[in-house]
Amino acid sequence: MDIQICQSCGAKLGTDALTCPECGAKTETAIKAEEAEAEHEALLSMAPPQTAKRIRELEEKYAEGPSVAVCVQLSGLYKDLKAMPRAIAYMQDAVALDPENKFLKQKLRILIDGPDAAAAEEYQTVTRQSAESRKLVRAVGIAAGVVLALVAAYFAYRVLFPSAWRVAAFSGEKMDALQPKYSPDGTKIAFVKAPKFTVFGIVDSLAGKQEESHLMVVDAESGDPRSIAKFVGTRPEFNWIPGTGDLSFVNVDETWKPTVYRVAADGGVPSSLVNAREFSWSPDGRKLAYVADLGWNDPAAMHENDALFLYNTETGNSFKISAMECSSPSFSPDGKKIAFQARDQRRQEALYNEARYNPDAYDDVSNYRGDIYVFDVVTEQTVAVTDEGLFDRPTFSPDGSKLFVLGYTDPNGYENSLFVMNPDGTDRRVLLTKGEDYEYFRDFAVSPDGKSVVFEGIFVNPDKPRSESMESPLGAIGGDTNYLADLFIVGVDGAGLRRLPSKKFRSRSAPDFSPDGSSIAFQVEYVEMRHEIWASKL
């Protein structure tokens, strides 16, 4: 039987004892537990607030009863924070819960040995296969060599004319390719080249050392990416300006005050527009709906932070649409309406006050996100189209007849549903909710013809076989669905839900349709946390 010795009185105790029953002193087990908890809290205090919050939520779920999904999420979050012992421990738990899942075993191996070991094994496998092919040619002669040459030509054709292709990658650098967006004419893709996330990056930011990223543009089919602007941060707001070949993006100054800039697609000196952190362009590129952010150095201007404004590029004037805490502005295709999400400060205060005296009301406070509002540009009137306080991310359909919104109606606060409704809030219905292949979803995009929606499903069921029809030309093995996230497509009537063909990535996200709807660009993540931009024909 394992024992521990009390350091105060020498009594023999069980290894799980926290205090000595003889003298009341803390045991070595208790001291180590306190040290581990202090280390844990120090780590989370350095992490981004949303990351720390998510870790705490998941660890509460883990304490209630571990699951593969929870363990994998925690492992990934701690991996991002460079807390490798914790990342490995949670991945070991995931493997123990699902010992037949080879994807989890591969992730555990990479966490322990590093990605180079896996890459070396893959290289050796390819080398062995190549050697076997050469042996076959020598054994069966020239005729077989001709056949193999034809087969090789076929696969070369598939490489040269694929249904999916890599758009941008920086595998030799400590940089990621993120957030693809097609140009209005579909010939180019803009994206972000950003430093990989590390805890050291957070520390540098707190010390005033701001990491530099690049706004990049690349030909949609082929070509070398080129940098057209530099900015601070790794996840900026940016987009193409309709009716022009220009782009707009958000950059922050040394005081972290954000500004929207305009720059030509071939580069040049960016010109500043407004102080904002989120924005949406009108279809003609002449007006800009933006969420103001004037920083915190000017007390007189701070009351304008989070308000929604409409900026006229021709006159240089701004008009305040809403003084609420706003986000996610979205122009209608005809430019006559702007949908946005907003949090009513009075409602928030009422919820907080109720929670002070009624603990049961705390969930209402933590789950409150805001409601969807629609502003009429012509009449300058604003109408609330939801009132439950659980919605965000409004997006108009291409013809402007429908509005898509995310709703967080689940008590847990993270499982969500995608709703579709008329722009006035009527005829609201659920288009997507938790499915067999995913627990919730995040990024989504509506096709240019308005007939379908592509979305990112999170935590795909690793035990559910993929249908024969979904086999990939890029080498994914039929029946193998070891993904943490993937892209799905569904009709706007809820019919025809299916997974998009895929090479085996850890995740695919941030989908963006080409203007003609024939392709989508998306962001991929490999098991070693490397990010690239890919595109695929539909």
Encode the chain (538 residues) as per-residue pLDDT tens digits.
467 677 777 777 776 777 878 787 777 777 777 777 888 888 888 777 778 888 898 899 888 888 888 888 888 888 878 788 888 889 888 888 888 776 677 778 777 766 444 433 433 333 334 334 333 333 334 344 433 343 343 343 334 335 788 899 886 668 899 999 999 999 999 999 998 764 444 444 444 556 789 999 999 987 789 999 998 876 679 999 999 889 999 998 877 789 999 999 999 999 999 999 999 999 999 999 999 998 766 666 667 889 999 999 999 999 999 999 999 999 999 999 999 999 987 776 776 666 666 666 656 656 678 899 999 999 999 999 999 888 999 999 999 999 999 998 765 555 688 999 999 999 999 998 877 777 778 889 999 999 999 999 886 545 444 433 333 322 232 233 344 778 999 999 989 999 887 766 778 999 999 999 999 999 998 877 789 999 999 8
User: Residue 264 falls within a domain, yes or no?
Assistant: no
Same domain, 40 and 131: no
- Tokens standing for 209? 């050392």
Indicate whether 50 belongs to any domain.
yes
Same domain, 416 and 287: yes
Tokens matching residue 85: 């012992």
Same domain for 300 and 395?
yes
Burial class (CB in 10 A: 0-12, 13-18, 19+), 152: exposed
3-state secondary structure of 153: helix
Tokens at 103, concatenated: 């994807």
CB-CB contact of 67 with 91 (8 Å): no
Residues 136 and 86 in one domain: no
The candidate with the shortest Cα–Cα distance to 377, out of 280, 462, 461, 474, is: 280
Shared domain check, 371 and 318: yes
Among 401, 433, 465, residue at a domain's last position: 433
Whether residue 331 lies inside any domain: the answer is yes
Helix 115-140 vs helix 102-113: crossing angle, to nearest 10: 120
Kindly state whether residue 3 falls inside one of the protein's structural domains. Answer: no
One domain, residues 62 and 143: no
Domain containing 77 equals: 24-99
- Both 151 and 286 in one domain: the answer is no
Rounded distance, CA 460 to CA 11, Å? 51
One-letter amino acid at 490 equals V
Q: Is residue 54 part of a domain?
A: yes
Residue 246 inside a domain? The answer is no
Cα(268)–Cα(9) distance, rounded to whole angstroms? 75
Do 507 and 484 contact (CB within 8 A), yes or no?
Answer: yes
Residue among 413, 131, 515, 43 at smallest CA distance from 139: 131
Per-residue model confidence (pLDDT) at position 80: 75
Q: Which residue has the tokens 């500043």?
A: 272
- Domain co-membership, 147 together with 79: no
Closest CA to 478 of 496, 494, 509, 499: 499
- Whether residues 93 and 120 share a domain: the answer is no
- 429-432 β-sheet, strand order: 391-396, 403-407, 417-421, 429-432
Length of the chain: 538
Residue 170 lies in a domain: no
The 3-state DSSP class for residue 260 equals strand
C-alpha to C-alpha distance for 67 and 60, rounded to whole angstroms: 12
CA distance 413 to 367: 6
How many structural domains are present in the chain? 3
User: Hey, what are 160's tokens?
Assistant: 């040269």
Q: Are residues 424 and 306 in the same domain?
A: yes
Nearest CA-CA partner of 406 in 362, 449, 456, 447: 456
Question: Within this chain, do residues 314 and 392 fall inside the same structural domain, yes or no?
Answer: yes
Which domain CATH number covers 313? 2.130.10.10
- Strand pairing report for 507-513 and 371-376: unpaired
Instruction: Return the pLDDT at 50.
Output: 73
Nearest to 374 by CA among 405, 407, 416: 405
Residues 6+ apart with CB under 8 A from 408: 367, 369, 390, 391, 392, 414, 415, 416
Answer yes or no: is 49 within a domain: yes
Q: Residue 388: name the closest of 369, 366, 406 by CA.
A: 369
- Same domain, yes or no, for 309 and 370? yes
pLDDT on residue 527: 73
